[in-house]
Structure 1
Amino acid sequence: MGELQQRMEEQLKLEGYSYRTRKTYIQHIKLFVAYHKKDPRQLAACDVERYLLYLLDEKEVFHSYVNQSVSAIKYFYGKVLNQPLKMASFPRPKKARKLPVVLSEQEVLRILAQIRNLKHQAIIMLIYSAGLRVSEVVRLKVSDIDGDRKMLRVKAGKGAKDRYTLLSEVALETLRNYCKVYRPKEWLFEGQRKGHYSRRSVEKIMENAIKRTGIQKKASVHTLRHSFATHLLEHGTDIRYIQELLGHSNIKTTQIYTHVAKQQTEKITSPLDRIMKKGTT
Structure 2
Amino acid sequence: MRRWPQDGEEIIKHYIAQLPLNYAISPIYYRQALESFRRAALQCGATDRRTLEYWLRERGEVWARSTVQHRARIVARFLDALVNDGRIESNPITDLRREYNAHGDTGIIGALMTPDPDQALEALRQPRPFASPLGELMRDHVERMQRRGYRYEAADAICRRFDRFLQQRPDLDSQPLETLLEHYRRTKATANHPAECEKLARILNKALCHDDPSRPKRPPDNRPTKQVAHSWRRPYIYSPEDIRKLLAIARTYPSPRAPSRPINLYTTLVLAYCAGLRVGEIARLTLGDVDMQAGTIAIRKTKFFKSRILPLSDSAMNALRALLKARQEANVSHSFDAGLFWHDQNNRQYCRASISTHLVAILRMAGLKPAAGKIGPRIHDLRHTFVVHRILEWYRQGLNPQEKLPYLATYLGHRDINSTLVYITVTQELLHEANERFRAFTYPLGNAEPAEVVS
What residue is the counterpart of 1:103 in the other structure?
238
Unaligned runs of 5+ in 1: 270-281
Does the 8 A contact of 1:25 with 1:69 survive in 2?
A: no
What residue is the counterpart of 2:357 in the other structure?
204
The structure-2 alpha-carbon separation of the partners of 1:169 and 1:72, relative to structure 1 and needing over 3 Å to count, comes to farther
Equivalent positions of 1:1-281 (< 5 A) are 1=129, 4=136, 7=140, 10-18=143-151, 22=153, 24-37=154-167, 44-51=176-183, 53-54=185-186, 58-62=188-192, 66-68=194-196, 70-71=198-199, 74-75=202-203, 78-79=206-207, 82-83=210-211, 85=215, 88-89=218-219, 91-92=221-222, 93-95=224-226, 96-97=229-230, 98=232, 99-115=234-250, 116=253, 117-179=262-324, 180=327, 181=330, 182-183=332-333, 185=335, 186=337, 187-190=339-342, 196-216=349-369, 218-236=376-394, 238-266=404-432
User: CA deviation digits over 1:28-55, x for unaligned, max 9?
Assistant: 2222122232689966331353155325
SS in structure 1 at match of 2:414: coil
Which one scores higher on RCO, CA 8 angstroms, separation ≥ 6?
1
- Number of equivalences: 262
SS in structure 1 at match of 2:297: strand
User: CA deviation digits over 1:103-154, x for unaligned, max 9?
Assistant: 1121112111111311122222112211111221112222221222222221
What residue is the counterpart of 2:20 in the other structure?
none
**1: CA distance between counterparts of 2:184 and 2:319?**
48
Deviation at 1:201, TM superposition (A): 1.1
SS in structure 2 at match of 1:88: coil
CA RMSD across the alignment = 3.5
Does the 8 A contact of 1:45 with 1:86 survive in 2?
A: no
Range moving further from structure 2, 97-106 or 231-240: 97-106
Unaligned runs of 5+ in 2: 1-128, 254-261, 370-374, 395-400, 437-455
Range moving further from structure 2, 245-254 or 171-180: 171-180
SS in structure 2 at match of 1:215: coil
SS in structure 2 at match of 1:266: helix
Does the 8 A contact of 2:278 with 2:380 survive in 1?
A: yes
Does the 8 A contact of 2:236 with 2:377 survive in 1?
A: yes
Deviation at 1:220, TM superposition (A): 1.4
TM-score, normalised to structure 1's length? 0.76
**2: CA distance between counterparts of 1:254 and 1:171?**
22
User: CA deviation digits over 1:224-273, x for unaligned, max 9?
Assistant: 1111111101111633322221122221222344442444423669xxxx
SS in structure 2 at match of 1:206: helix
Does the 8 A contact of 1:11 with 1:79 survive in 2?
A: no
Does the 8 A contact of 1:52 with 1:66 survive in 2?
A: no
**2: CA distance between counterparts of 1:51 and 1:229?**
42
**2: CA distance between counterparts of 1:91 and 1:134?**
32
**1: CA distance between counterparts of 2:221 and 2:266?**
45
Task: Find the structure with the greater CA-based Rg.
Answer: 2
TM-score, normalised to structure 2's length? 0.50
